[in-house]
Structure 1
Amino acid sequence: MFFHFETDFVDSLRCIPMVVRYRLDSCGVKLKLNHWHQFSMTQRQYLIDCPFDSPEDITAYAEKLQAWVTAYTGTPAKTLEIPENPAWFNTEEIPAQVTVEFIAKTGCESFPRLAWAQLTPLQRFALIKLSQPGHENRNFLPALQEFGILAKND
């Protein structure tokens, strides 16, 4: 469930893994790292492994998460607008920030459209997150290699 580029922190779960970030954006909860650090390892693992396939699963996830944050901090986490048509589900249109970061990091002229379409929604989500302005972006190239878009020696 974790990406290889996350291996430096997944054993300790000191950072929020991409699969949880995906779930947070999908259920509209803005979880801060300090919230994550207050959760037990069992709670963190639950947020990674629990069912997240149906609208009911997603609602239950958000409710449990908000209950935990409230229990630790006294107030719920902020909420985010849930996109109606998230970019990570769009196999046809590559977000501009992904293309710009791809060109900057690889020197190639454009992101390969077929490669984008063949990624899973979680992989597309990861590339979108890793290409955000102001993000460190150090895992963008490793993610491209892991997802088979670039060869390891590119």
Structure 2
Amino acid sequence: MNTITAIETRFFAFESDFVDSLRCIPMIVRYKLDTCRVKLQLADWARLNYHEKDELAELPCHSQEEIDAYADFVHALVWKYTSTVPSLLKTLDAAWVHTQVPAEVREKAQEWNCPVISAHQWMQLDVLERFALVKLSRSGHEGRNFPRALAEFGLAAAC
């Protein structure tokens, strides 16, 4: 049976500008979506009501049964508003589970003139923190949140 690390629902301080309204997809939901390999478009997220968004943040997504139920719930929500189902990620590049700092995180830190993150520091972060840094390192994410996340996770002062 496939079981992932249980992640407590929490929001990061660097997400504070949108967490109250949930206008953007918070990292906890992105983590759960990646876990069940569902690609939820921001336009589809925007159609959901606040209660549905909050439920996606709170629902467990750890055991295979929970992962399947979470994916089914997301599909049902998207279908409700769009009469389509979200696409699935072909593969899951879970760079956050590796013991070495992913190249994309190192490169993003260098781009922002932030200190180098050691493998020891990387492994001291919890799974959701490592996930957030990987996601914030990839194109399509607001760059200003990367140094804010580093500071929040105790890896750098203002960089």
Q: CA separation of 1:142/1:25 partners in 2, compared to 1, >3 Å: closer, same or farther? A: same
Q: Given the alignment, which residue of 34, 38, 62 partners 1:29? A: 38
Partner of 1:66: 75
Instruction: Say how many residue pairs are matched.
Output: 150
For residue 134 of structure 1, report the CA deviation from its aligned partner: 4.7
Matched, 1:130 2:108: no
Q: TM-score, normalised by structure 1?
A: 0.91
> 1:14 is paired with a residue of what secondary structure?
coil
The amino acid of 2:94's aligned partner reads: P
2:124 maps to 1:115: no
Runs of 4+ deviating beyond 6 Å: none
Counterpart for residue 101 of structure 1? 108
Q: Which runs of 5+ in 2 are unaligned?
A: 1-9
Alignment deviations for residues 100-126 of structure 1 (CA, whole Å, 9 cap, x no partner): 111221254x32221101111111110
Residue of 81, 86, 91 corresponding to 1:77: 86
Unaligned runs of 5+ in 1: none
**Cα distance, 1:77 vs. partner?**
0.6
2:11 counterpart SS class: coil
| RMSD (Å), alpha carbons | 1.5
Note closer, same or farther for the CA distance 1:21–1:134 as it changes in structure 2 (3 Å cut): closer
Structure 1 residues 134 and 62, CA gap change in structure 2 (3 angstroms): closer
Return the TM-score normalized by structure 2.
0.88
